[in-house]
Structure 1
Amino acid sequence: MADTVSYRPKAGEIPTQPGVYRFRDANRRVLYVGKAKNLRARLSNYFAPLHNLHDRTRKMVTSASSVEWTVVATEFEALQLEYTWIKEFNPPFNVQFRDDKTYPYLAVTLGEDVPRVTVTRNRNIKDARYFGPYTKVWAIRDTVDLMLKAFPMRSCSDGVYRRAEITGRPCLLGDIGKCAAPCVGRVTKDEHREIAEDFVSFMAGNDTRYIRDLTHRMKAAASTQDYESAARHRDAIQALEAAMSKSAIVLPENVDADIFGIAHDELAAAVQQFIVRGGRIRGVRSWVVDKELDVDLGELVEIVLQNAYEGDSTPPREILVPELPEDAAELELWLTARRQENGDPASSRGPLTGRVGIRVAQRGDKAALAHTVEMNAKNALILYKTRRSSDFVARSKALGDIRDALGMDEAPLRMECYDVSHLSGTNIVASMVVFEDGLPRKDQYRRFSIPESTDDTESIYQVITRRLAYLRPGGEDDASEGDEPVLDELDPNALGDTAPGDEAVDRDPLEDELAAAAEKRRARFSYPPNLLIVDGGQPQVAAAARALEESGVQGIQLAGIAKRLEEIWLPDSDYPVILPRNSDALFLIQRIRDEAHRFAITYQRSRRKRDIGSVLGEIPGLGPSRVKELLKHFGSVAQLKKASPEQIAEVKGIGPSLAGAIHDRLGTR
């Protein structure tokens, strides 16, 4: 393989000014668009020796046949041009969005002669003001029904409106006071437009102002004994308060902000957007991003914001993100221009003023809400990956692709994955998760305690050796008692101390039942996998291969998955197997690896807590809260053993005498 691609330009040919570059293939199709503050510095990264490139970057540059660039005056112009070209060419190696276009919106058609309010999924209504997106259509309709009591604007279709104009009779909404009935002249079109603009202003966050105004009118009407008007204003206030109660108050009422949460891994990212207006959550939006090239969080934030505010979406003055992008200042200028172009979200009266600010919430209510948004994004990513890997057609294709990629004779209908977890070399544990037909079999998960080990490769060797002992005829006795089932079930090797041939005296019937259950579990545990996966690269695979060879067990394919590049390593192979990005096969293997990691971490944490609780719980005056503080401060009993009484006394709630007792107790162990 050549050190680099043949179309690499000479370094002196590439300018050092800001600009935008495009990679094209042999058919002149644009494969990737990017921007740079310094074109020469950025492009030189793509033309490094191919073996040093990230596998996805290497795939892109080898698929291309040429690169071209356009110099611009400022970084802000580069940002604008990059955005324009991505929308124009839709390059396959740029981040691809899987936006959910089925969200319902509340729209007010201010561009019509007689505006109307409607619930729609169409985002292309000319001059319409949109609110949302929302998750439930019925929730929007309930809100609109309440709002029409206070802002009786038109909500009927064009056909119903024309029929009322012709007949001179309003529809039912006009008769019950939920429409001002401009169709029959009860109000003029200008008066009706004012009602519509007030409706829009209220939805945009100016809600408390209208309630204060209506309260003032109600009191004024009551003071003049105009009780009919006072009752009408009272009903409007109740309707608006009921509508407001449907959206949670999360921030002060003067806060208009969009909060973004992003959860991502090597293959995909899930984005959550909470739309807060007047301190209330007015809408929630989520979408999934497919990552072709390796994109860090800051760059991903920039791409997400460009996607979120394309079209007629108006940015608020404050945007909270998990990490500031490198070009945050230029992005703020671009968003400010979008805000001014799209006009006032509260009415149709002209452009907005004020610069858009992009920030990371550090503390307080905003930080707490940002954490909530991030948790929603994490859950959305898990759900996306689970649904994708659980689809029958996708699973079948994934298993077939894994078979072909690893050179197996049959599809791996049973796969086992192993991961090791520890805390600074203490409390070493490992996990085994099982997937059959592409789905998890949690009843067959196992976990392992590792008393001593030098490193992760030695731990992998021990665990695989212990697991393969169950597959050798008569080899069950070599399995360790630390090989625990997932639900803390009784270990089959711990049923008793009787030697072979000894008779058990006065056995409890419950013991027989437990023994039978243990044998049943052993049979499941003895079922051999088609594919055995370890979390790691060449060293971990070599350790597992050594255990497999020593066991004498045949017919098991071995592989390892390296987390950083998502490469699949086989035994005695100098080069990894690269599965296509976003393929169902890679998603399935990644999910198995992530499940093994989660299971190992959970077990390791439980061991840590149990370890500290058992050692320290016997010391008088040391309750659960103080044990928790010790755990938080030192992390484990092993670290606590090394501490002096003075260091222990530094922990919150631990005095000198108690610190001495802890030190003495641990010193006797």
Structure 2
Amino acid sequence: MSSIKFKLDNLPQKPGVYLMKDKKNLVIYVGKAKNLSRRVKSYFQNIDAHDLKTKTLVSQIVDFDVILLQTEVEALLLERTLIRKHQPQYNILFRDDKEYPYLKINLNEKWPRILKVRKRKEDDAFYFGPFGSHGQVYDLLKTIYSVFPVIRCSPQVFDNAKKPCHYYHMKQCLAPCSINVDENTYKDMLRCIMSFLKGKDKSVVEILKKRMLEASDKEDYETALSLRNQISSFKKLKESQNVIISSTKKIDVIGFSHSKNKISFTIQHVRKRKLLEQRNFILDLPRPESDKALSSFILQFYSSESIPEEILCQSLPEEKGAFEEIFYQKNLKISVPLKGQKKALLDTSIDNARYALYLEEKRNKNQENLLEHIKKTFALKNTPQRIECIDISNLHKESPVASVVCFMEGKPKKNLYRFYNIKNITDTPNDFESIYEAVKRRLQKGFEEQNLPDLLIIDGGKGQLSSAQRAFKEFFDVKTDLVSLAKSKVLNKKSLSTKTVKSHERVFQVDRQEPVALELGSKAYKLFTQIRDESHRFALKHHRRKREKKLSISSLENIDGIGPTLKKRLFEKFKDLKHMKEASLEEIMKTKGLAAKTAKLLFETLKNL
């Protein structure tokens, strides 16, 4: 939730679309907003006032992304495209719910209208939707009415009209209620609207142009003028949005923005004239040479991605010719657009790259402030850029292991996680001796590889800290700061009449008599407990694996006919007990040297585990 809060606090007051994601990183809802900041924040404010569907949606949101756009029309059209692409759970659910509207057009009527309806019926009409809100439908109708002069009034008003209404004089209605209008011409206009609602924007202009020329040839200049106005209005609409373009090429748009040591790339994928996807990448930039960074990014990105027909970017990479030669078979073209739809698309991509970089730098600045605060609070020698935590796991007093997790600048660095199988095992597990061994081995490795942490956290209290300090004393000039983190303890005796009172979580240090209490909910509390809990999780994970392996070995040892050689072959073939249990009898029998009788016995034994 802290990641969501950070993003909420830094949302821009711009148009765009937002994609809500669940714990599996699946898009569960797509929405559009005139003001992203106000709209997205509304989901997380006054939650009790939300309806049941929205409450359920919010309860499943663990992250969200936004795509910044230039206009509301762009947001409306991109929202439609992304809903079709992702088919989000909470957008799709609206389909059969009468509260969420559709647009309906029935060409069987003499003078069809565009109707907003709450439920789809099994009739001959065409339905478009469902839409996430009535406001969304209103925006879409407003766009349609600005281009196409269709009937807006009710059948009753239409039937009783004596003269054209004000929409006719504003050139926003043909007024078939009181003026002679060709029925087929009117229905052709409705078909254009249907093409627009289906996303077939290019065909709309082509149809309108064809009809305008036909009307002109017949000297029906009034109809030709009306069609010309529709074409003009539609082109203006197209100029005001860039998420649907005229080019049929597969286009990738790469915008970037850089600071002194970071560069942000936003890549937008345009397919079948529509902006379908946006991806952001934040990379280290050793020197502010953005053109070389662009070359490197293009080469690395497209080594594992499909190659488009055209790449739009704000400057040409130094190796433009080489790239086009490398990707010659794909007919790749790299260009810098200077005007038109492609330039507008590129500007949108650059805006999103700037926003992603702004978020990253603000997040890093907040993290720097937190690390400096921790250094000051605990009087550390170092700013804790690299923090490691050691935890011991010895469930059921067997197979003790030590986990070492690493956080760099406040973020988990999982490729640096390590674990140690405790070697000095006695009949009774000894946490203090296990910590001593794990810390000693970590320091030894750190001096060898020159990668000691700035701060080492031990899971435990004073006793665990003393054991770690004993290991520290065996090395010369250890610059790593050392603390231990103890869980909260009960301060009062349990009784039926009194509520249990617990202390804060406490940080113990070698040169301090009393521990420092971590205030619940503080940023230092969140970081320290996150690291400690991650270390505990990692220790348990490895401990379970170790126990399962030990169990699997002992299970095989009890089966007659399976000795060390066959045991080795079985684990080489199936990797672990889990995959062995999932294997069929035929697969097990294929193991070299395994007799059929022994294979059947093994298969039955595995089924009963």
Give the TM-score category using the shorter length.
0.3 to 0.5
TM-score by length of 1: 0.33
TM-score, with length taken from structure 2: 0.36
Higher relative contact order (CA 8 A, sep 6+): 1
